[in-house]
A = this chain, B = another copy of it.
Amino acid sequence: MQMNRASSPETVTPTGGGNGRNGRAAYDLPAVLDIAVGAFNDYGYDATSMGLLAERLGTSKSAVYYHVSGKEDLLRLALERALGGLEGILTLPGATAGPAEDRLRFVLRGAVQVLVDDLPYVTLLLRLRGNTEIERNALERRRAFDHQVSQLVDQARADGSLRADVDSGTITRLLFGMINSIVEWYKPGGTLTPAQLADDVISVAFDGLHRPA
């Protein structure tokens, strides 16, 4: 499945004709997914109907069903993108070799990057309530990711790099609280670049707010 963001502003034309590329829908699946994720974030997944999605796309419900069998598919694909991005970080050399503190910094920096790159997708993931099987499965994978980061925190503590007076579970949760909040306030394209944001998060997390000695 292609996950590129290329899209066209034209109306979906499920049977093709002059409007769509390749004689198919003018809106490709990634574009439909972007619209769906936006609607899920604005109204909540439960309150978003296929009719509402069709309205946002300026097309008919049947045109949306050309791409997916229902909104469950859109949710699953969207969550796969967010989770796949986060899980991918843990497989990179920076996350698997070297001192635990360096690996922890690498993973946190990578998580900030995924959040910024796929902001609406990660927003959807973070707002899940777990009302459906798809959501519960995604929450399970998110917990597994958090757990691996928690293990890095444990190792960095065991190495003597991190403070030992705060529980490592608490540390991990506060770290993710800080990082995950980015989806709520970061405005892409502003003066705060993704690289600067990642630097700021790492600085504040490791060294705190106090003026460095």
Contact = CB atoms under 8 A, between A and B. Distances in A.
Given A44-B47, A197-B170, A160 B211 contact: yes
B163 A210 contact: yes
A205 B209 contact: yes
How many monomers of this chain does the complex have? 2
Contacts of A185: 173, 177
A126 to B, nearest CB: 9
B206 A166 contact: no
A127 interface: yes
A167 interface: yes
Given A46-B43, A173-B185, A180-B181, A192 B167 contact: yes
B211 A163 contact: yes
Contacts of A177: 177-182, 184-185
B42 A171 contact: no
14 contacts: A44-B47, A162-B210, A163-B209, A164-B211, A167-B192, A173-B181, A175-B209, A177-B178, A177-B179, A177-B181, A178-B181, A205-B208, A208-B208, A213-B213
